[in-house]
Amino acid sequence: MQHGCLRAAILILNMNFIQIRTDVSEEKQEMLISNLSSLGAIGFEQTDTYLLSYFDEENFSSYDVNKALEGEIFEIHNIEEKNWNEEWEKNFEPVLVGNFCGVRAHFHKPFVGVNHEIIITPKMSFGTGHHATTFMMIEQMEKINFENQTVLDFGTGTGILAIMAEKLQSKFIKAMDIDKWSIENAKENIKINNCKNIDLQLSAQLPDQIFDIILANINRNVIQDYLSALQSKLSKGGLILFSGILIEDENKIVQACQKTGLNIKEKYIKDNWLCLLFMNSK
């Protein structure tokens, strides 16, 4: 998730809205998503070279957005009413993470020959397995023992990682996000996957309990802002798996983690993105 803990909000059914294309690198996109989310952006699409941001036309503050994008190359377009969930469904393809896990929509055929299957309603909350960061999180979760563990999914988005944690027999999962649409989407996905041990929380405030494992697929800025707080919620010897980090930010994150008592155990790379596993020494 960006903006505190979100990467994208759901683009709701029928609405007229503003699309802004900003030509910026992936690293700069992370900061813009945070800033534009605070100005009311309701969804984002990321590529290697540009960012598409969407605003409800009725609530679009031209002055504030232009000020936030000062110095950037950008274009603003009015987009006609469209059923965006329907458009998203047309382009939603199943994802296979080896033989470990398959992620599909309800309208796809069930997978054959995978250990776990996750059904995700294809709305535009972040977390479908298509982005390298989510793919790596799922991929590395196979290597961690979740059985009878307590888990915090910080920035749950669609709920995909919380659902994966339950399928790996975690005894309790707290899944939290700061966006109400992501919570609603996660609620739908938790139900369709028949999960019973996931507790959803709409909040940026961490719960008053200690966890064995923390999952945080967010971004460098949010990780650094919440790092001490997250470490304080992790049991001694507990594991925290981070993603949403660009390769060039590795040293900043590793050094910040080490200062809080988190020692790096593993590093994984996919498409210029990092997934880092730390153990709590305190």
pLDDT digits (tens, 9 = 90+) for 233-249: 999 999 999 998 989 89
Q: Alpha carbon of 41 to those of 32, 35, 54, 68, 133: distances in Å?
A: 10, 9, 6, 12, 22
Domains, the chain, ranges and CATH?
14-84 (3.30.70.980), 127-280 (3.40.50.150)
Beta bridge partners of 101: 97, 116
Summarize pLDDT for 102-147 with one digit per residue, the tens: 999 888 899 999 999 999 986 655 667 778 899 999 999 999 999 9
Summarize pLDDT for 90-106 with one digit per residue, the tens: 667 899 999 999 999 88
Could you tell me the pTM of the whole model? 0.77
Residue 88: CB atoms within 10 A of its CB come to: 18
Residue 23: CB atoms within 10 A of its CB come to: 13
User: How big is the chain, counted in residues?
Assistant: 282
| Rounded distance between C-alpha atoms, residue 86 and residue 40, angstroms | 23
pLDDT higher than 60, residue 14: no
CA atoms in the 13 A half-sphere facing the CB of 275: 19
